[in-house]
Amino acid sequence: MTTAEKLGKTATLYRLDAQIGYVLRRATQRHLAIFAEQIPELTPPQFAVLARLQELGPLSQNRLGRETAMDAATVKGVVDRLLSRGLVLAKADPQDRRRLILDLSVEGRALFDMLARSALAITAETLSPLAPEERRQLLRLLEKIA
Amino acid sequence: MTTAEKLGKTATLYRLDAQIGYVLRRATQRHLAIFAEQIPELTPPQFAVLARLQELGPLSQNRLGRETAMDAATVKGVVDRLLSRGLVLAKADPQDRRRLILDLSVEGRALFDMLARSALAITAETLSPLAPEERRQLLRLLEKIA
DNA sequence: TTAGCTTTGTTTGCGTACAAACAGATTGCC
DNA sequence: GGCAATCTGTTTGTACGCAAACAAAGCTAA
């Protein structure tokens, strides 16, 4: 007799704690708390935008969304908040009148440079319960399912 | 001369793709897409509420939040939507007039039983790029950093 | 016994996240 | 050249997720 039958049901045995979605959500929660403590002035998506612009230079809003894994509606909100704080600048693309070209402002670049070390420390602290080899493993496995 | 110096900056080398937060976000995105395709009638937090109530029986809203890793404001919204669909029932606690006791309705229990297999399939599909041993590893490592 | 602390639940405000529908611009192809 | 398909960006609506502030109820210790 199976455990499910003992419980008087034919339903599949379902343990929430063993589901990847639930564990991903809790790991993300802890990471977000560490991020907010170390870098209270920006959210992770905002920081990702600054990082990509610093790395790749001026980009269209659409391309920026692809490079930061945000859909068009989401990236618009994130970019609008950075624009209103003067951390990012927008200009029209003369070659393509649909496009909005975005780039870091001087202040945005300075802020990114200032916070980059903290951002690395956030990853380190999030992964601190793991041994060095485990940290590499986790990043590798997450990358495979992403 | 370090790479950072070659780039003409003292800023720390920062690779967005190597940060745990960014990889977690992308893995979560793929998982959510799989969930929405397999179970379009419920969100993952809603399903987690049904699963915990099925597993633990009637719970106060506050306790339910702790058991599903949601803060008080979030669990209220999720529960309200389940209440309005008749999948969950609420009653007052005679012993403690602050408490709201929540439980599955007949319809909620039936829906959970119906969807439990799909929910397991969602975890399986999300982890399908990994070998069996890698799947166990990933769950174990995520649990350690959660 | 009662003042003070804690717990439970609610509300508001902000920031993702995504689906869907839309407008305007560009491109591909006949 | 012109039409259809595609691309870029915007808007609306729904659903988390969390901080902060609040009210009501319960608990505790002097």
Amino acid in position A135: R
For residue A12, the 8-state DSSP code is: P
Partner A contacted by B74 (CB < 8 A) = no
pLDDT exceeds cutoff 80 at A50: yes
Alpha-carbon A96 to chain mean position: 29
Contact B69 A29 (CB under 8 A): yes
Q: What is the pLDDT at residue B11? A: 53
Phi, psi (degrees; rounded to nearest 5) at A104: -70, 140
Partner B contacted by A57 (CB < 8 A) = no
pLDDT exceeds cutoff 80 at A8: no
What mean pLDDT is predicted for residues A27-52? 98
Q: What's the pLDDT band for B8 if we cut at 50, 70, 90? A: very low
* Residue B124 neighbours by CB distance under 10 Å: 12
Q: Integer distance in angstroms from CA B33 to C1' D17? A: 19
Which nucleotides of strand D are protein-proximal, with an atom < 7 A from a CB? Answer: 7-13, 15-21, 24-27
Instruction: Note the pLDDT tens digit of each residue in B101-130.
Output: 999 999 999 999 999 999 999 999 999 999
Measure A98 CA to nearest chain B CA, in Å.
28
Instruction: Note the pLDDT tens digit of each residue in B83-106.
Output: 999 999 999 999 999 999 999 999
Element (H, E) at B29: helix B20-38
Q: Does the reported pTM lie above 0.85?
A: yes
What mean pLDDT is predicted for residues B13-30? 97
Percent of chain A residues topping a pLDDT of 90: 91
Partner B contacted by A86 (CB < 8 A) = no
Residues in A touching B10 (Cβ below 8 Å): 113
Partner A contacted by B20 (CB < 8 A) = yes
Asked if B23 CB < 7 A from strand C, the reply is: no
Instruction: Note the pLDDT tens digit of each residue in A66-112.
Output: 999 999 999 999 999 999 999 999 999 999 999 999 999 999 999 99
Alpha-carbon B60 to chain mean position: 19
CA distance A123 to A71: 24
Measure B85 CA to nearest chain A CA, in Å.
22
Count of helix runs (H) and strand runs (E) in chain B: 7, 3
Name the residue closest to D23, CA to C1'.
Answer: B98
Distant-in-sequence contacts of A64-67, Cβ < 8 A, 24+ apart: A64/A102
What mean pLDDT is predicted for residues B39-68? 98
Element (H, E) at B88: strand B88-92
pLDDT exceeds cutoff 60 at B6: no
Element (H, E) at A100: strand A100-104
